[in-house]
Homo-oligomer: A and B are copies of this chain.
Amino acid sequence: MVNPRMLQLGTNRSCIRELFEYGMRRAAELGPDKVCDFSLGNPSVPSPAGVGETICRLVRESESRALHGYTPAAGAADARAAVAADLNARYGADVQPGELFFTCGAAPALTAALSALAVEGAECLIFAPFFPEYTVFAEAAGMRPVVVPANTEDFQIRAADAAPLLSARTQAVIVNSPNNPSGVIYSEERLRELAALLEEKEREYGHPIYLIADEPYRELVYDGARVPFIPLLYADTLLCYSWSKSLSLPGERIGYVYVPRRAADGEKVFAAVAGAARAAGHVCAPSLMQHVIANCAALRPDIEAYDRNRRTLYEALCSYGYECVRPQGAFYLLIRSPKGSAQEFSDRAKAKDLLIVPCGDFGCPDYLRLGTCVSYETVLRSLPIFKELIEEA
Chain B residue at minimum C-beta to C-beta distance from A250: B70
CB-defined contacts of A271 to chain B, threshold 8 Å: 7, 10-11
**Contact of A251 with B10 in the complex, beta carbons under 8 Å:** no
**Which A residues, 326 to 355, have Cβ-Cβ distances below 8 Å to chain B?**
none
Q: Say whether, besides A136-B278, A281-B109, A288-B251, A1 and B56 are in contact (CB < 8 Å).
A: no
CB contacts (< 8 Å) of A9 on chain B: these are 274-276, 278-279
> Chain B residues near A111 (CB, 8 Å)?
279-281
Greatest chain B CB density within 10 A among A250, A275, A278 is at A275
Chain B residues positioned under 8 Å from A279 (CB to CB): 5-6, 9, 111, 136-137, 140
Does A2 sit within 8 A of B, measured CB to CB? yes
Chain B residue at minimum C-beta to C-beta distance from A48: B64
Is A137 within 8 A of B42, CB to CB?
no
A272 located at the interface, meaning its Cβ lies under 8 Å from any Cβ of chain B in the complex: yes
A284→B70 contact, CB < 8 A: no
The stretch among A100-108, A182-190, A225-233, A309-317 that forms the contact with chain B is: A100-108
Query: Are A282 and B108 closer than 8 Å at their CB atoms?
Result: yes
Query: Residue A115 at the B interface, CB < 8 A?
Result: yes
The distance in angstroms between the C-alpha atoms of A120 and B225, with both chains bound, is 50
A108 touches B10 (CB 8 A): no
Give bound CA distance, A269 to B2, whole Å. 6
Which of A6, A63, A136, A171: most chain B Cβ within 10 A?
A6
B115 touches A3 (CB 8 A): yes
**Shortest distance from the beta carbon of A134 to any chain B beta carbon, whole Å:** 11
Task: Kindly supply a per-residue 1/0 record for chain A positions 265-302, scoring 1 wherever the CB is within 8 Å of any chain B CB and 0 otherwise.
Answer: 10011111111101111111111111000000000000
**Does residue A357 face the partner (Cβ distance < 8 Å to B)?**
no
- Interface pair B119/A3, CB less than 8 Å apart: yes
Q: How many copies does the complex hold?
A: 2
Q: Which residues of B contact A248 (CB under 8 A)?
A: 64-65, 68-69
Q: Is A84 an interface residue (CB 8 A)?
A: no
Contact B56 A251 (CB under 8 A): no
Collect the chain B residues with CB atoms within 8 Å of residue A149's CB.
none
A212 proximal to B (CB < 8 A):
no
- Which of B69, B105, B107, B119 lies in contact with A42, CB distance below 8 A? B69
Interface pair B56/A119, CB less than 8 Å apart = no
Instruction: Report whether B10 and A252 are in contact in the complex, using a CB–CB cutoff of 8 Å.
Output: no
Q: Which residues of B contact A275 (CB under 8 A)?
A: 3, 5-11
A321 CB within 8 Å of chain B: no
A199 to chain B, nearest CB (A): 15
Known contacts A107-B281, A208-B1, A284-B253; decide if A115 and B70 are in contact (CB<8 Å).
no
Interface residues of A (CB under 8 A from B): 1-11, 40, 42-44, 46-47, 52, 55-56, 59-60, 63-65, 67-71, 103-105, 107-112, 115-119, 133, 136-137, 140, 171, 207-208, 248-253, 265, 268-276, 278-290
A-B contacts besides A10-B271, A55-B59, 18 pairs, CB < 8 Å: A1-B207, A3-B115, A3-B276, A6-B118, A6-B272, A7-B116, A52-B59, A55-B56, A68-B251, A68-B252, A104-B282, A107-B281, A108-B281, A108-B282, A111-B281, A136-B279, A137-B279, A286-B286
Pairs across A and B, CB under 8 Å, 8 listed = A8-B275, A46-B63, A55-B288, A56-B56, A67-B251, A107-B282, A111-B281, A133-B278
